[in-house]
Amino acid sequence: MKPAYLLRQAAPYRRPLLTIAAVSLLTSAVTLVVPWLAGQLLGRVVEGSGTVAAAAGMGMGTILVLLVTALVAGTGLTIAGAILSAATGGRILADLRIAAHRHILRLPVPFHDNSNAGELLSLTTFEVASLSNFLANTLARMPAMLVTAAGASVLMFRLDPATGLVLLLLLPLFYLAVKLVGRRLRQLGYEARDAETALIVLAEQQLEMMMATKSFAQEQAQSAAFARLAEASRKVQLEQERLKAMLGPIVALLAGFAAILVLLLAGGAGEEARDPAELFSLLLYAALLTRPMGSLADLYGYTQWAGGTLARLEAVMAEAEERGYEDNVAGARRAQGALAFEDVRFAYPGRDATLDGISFAVAPGEIVALTGDNGAGKSTLISLLLRFYQPDSGRITLDGQEISTIPLQHLRRQIGLVPQRPLLFAGTVRENITYGLPDASTAQLAAAVELAQAQALVQMLPQGLETRIGDHGVRLSGGQRQRIALARALLADPPVLVFDEATSMFDLDAEASFVAACKEGLKGRTVLIVTHRPASLALADRIIDLHEGRIRTVTERHPKGA
């Protein structure tokens, strides 16, 4: 674990963490006083005199009051410490989650291409939870645990030096045992986390593939795959819990044996009879010592394990965010919509160039169709325009300004994209359409629905725009989903519209009618249409045909001035 990163994470919570540490130190001070007072009380009860207290002139009543006060204070402090730890742990958890999630949303598309959604999910949910628990509970309470252990040892040593000697001899043995078991615990912690993450990843993937599983009748195979992972996770967790279950009590037992030994030595060694008050205190201190010893062993493994999670979190947080985020782009000027690609070349990492030597310009208000074989690079070209990826060379401009210099969100808000596979979420039709413009007016909504040829669909739905779709709602057909995605892009009325096979699932009549409506409704907007279908091609002023990443032909359908 890198302590510097840990300290940075803990820095904003310095105050509550220090408060927890202070409260637990106080608790441990009170805890250390109790055995002594109890010993004195016992001495009074048995013999009528406790040596030290008697010397200090303390009466039995005073001792009783002090003892009760210490017990009540100890209880109060323990409760306060637990609540404080829970509150601080919760705060750290929420903050870490929010920060990690915000960061993940801002990471570039290539990062998401190469990472697994399930792994990110597990990092921001249960892994971060264990980390915040570690910071607030384990780390903040460690000083108190050490102080209790050290305090009990020192006080025992003062009461009886032979005790101290035995303790000193036991210490290296104890350290060795803790280190060995702690190492195994750390390994098991890693394995348990990996097993649990693999399970989440598979479950997520299987839920997404539900219809494929059913149509290929693969339920048994998929169940078996899940069962294997669930079983693996159970086994690791069992081993982990078994070790944990044994560790604390066994260490406590050994410490207990040591205490008995100490008592025997201390009780029998001296020529004079021991003061029963001292003996009783000694016994209580020995009992007190057993608790932190067990916890310290557990702590060692846990610290190592939390370090692993921290390293994963650190790796994700160290990934650079997309360049060009500006928090306030609301006031930026609407673009005219002139686009230009100038000798653009682009290759996905580790692959040959997907696009090469791409040059073309689109004037504001022009409609340009991109066509070409599967894999020719059409969607990639659109991705470059939206700055999902950066060209390796060449320039892409909007209104003459290179897009890499335009604030990212402003650029993207100038472009209404309808992707090949519309992404709709479980919510109402209205929520889905207004996704990019949550405060759209009724008139804007109605216009977008009409232009997307979605009125008939909305009227047909049981609660119109308020009908829930997706999970717990109505399932829509491919063409219906496309209409909603179209309405979503048209709603904000951006100066540039990009339709990537946006009407590929429309029936022919519907497509022809959409094309006709677009001719009228999209006047003045720059439109890029990726399509193979004649009705959409008929809409275009120009058709650019791509072949293996290069422009093969350009067909002017409505030559300028004609």
Ligand X SMILES: Nc1ncnc2c1ncn2[C@@H]1O[C@H](COP(=O)(O)OP(=O)(O)OP(=O)(O)O)[C@@H](O)[C@H]1O
Residues at the contact surface with ligand X, assessed by CB under 6 A: 113, 348, 351, 354, 372, 374-380
Q: What is the 3-state secondary structure (H, E, C) of 255-302?
A: HHHHHHHHHHHHHHHCCCCCCHHHHHHHHHHHHHHHHHHHHHHHHHHH
Nearer to ligand X, 74 or 372 (CB): 372
Nearer to ligand X, 198 or 382 (CB): 382
Nearer to ligand X, 112 or 274 (CB): 112
d(C-alpha 341, C-alpha 175), whole Å: 67
d(C-alpha 513, C-alpha 483), whole Å: 13
CB of 111 to ligand X, least distance (A): 11
Nearer to ligand X, 109 or 173 (CB): 109
CB of 511 to ligand X, least distance (A): 17
Nearer to ligand X, 352 or 520 (CB): 352
Nearer to ligand X, 312 or 532 (CB): 532
CB of 480 to ligand X, least distance (A): 21
Nearer to ligand X, 278 or 500 (CB): 500
CB of 529 to ligand X, least distance (A): 13
Q: What's the number of CA atoms in the CB half-sphere (13 Å) around residue 58?
A: 18
CB of 545 to ligand X, least distance (A): 11
CB of 373 to ligand X, least distance (A): 7
Q: Are 354 and 380 in contact (CB under 8 A)?
A: yes
Burial of 554 (0-12, 13-18, 19+ CB in 10 A): exposed
In sequence order, the β-bridge partners of residue 553 are: 545
d(C-alpha 83, C-alpha 97), whole Å: 21
Nearer to ligand X, 218 or 504 (CB): 504
CA nearest neighbour of 399 among 364, 437, 443, 355: 364
CB of 113 to ligand X, least distance (A): 5
CA nearest neighbour of 489 among 437, 442, 420: 437
Nearer to ligand X, 329 or 353 (CB): 353
d(C-alpha 51, C-alpha 64), whole Å: 16
d(C-alpha 52, C-alpha 36), whole Å: 10
Please give the helix or strand (H or E) that residue 344 lies within, else none: strand 339-347
CB of 454 to ligand X, least distance (A): 24
DSSP letters for 437-478: -TT--HHHHHHHHHHTT-HHHHHHSTTGGG-EESTTSB---H
d(C-alpha 20, C-alpha 161), whole Å: 33
CB of 114 to ligand X, least distance (A): 9
CB of 385 to ligand X, least distance (A): 12
d(C-alpha 233, C-alpha 238), whole Å: 9
Residues present in the chain in total = 562
CB of 533 to ligand X, least distance (A): 12
Nearer to ligand X, 108 or 470 (CB): 108
Q: What's the number of CA atoms in the CB half-sphere (13 Å) around residue 168?
A: 7
- Joined tokens for residue 412: 């993207």
Nearer to ligand X, 255 or 369 (CB): 369
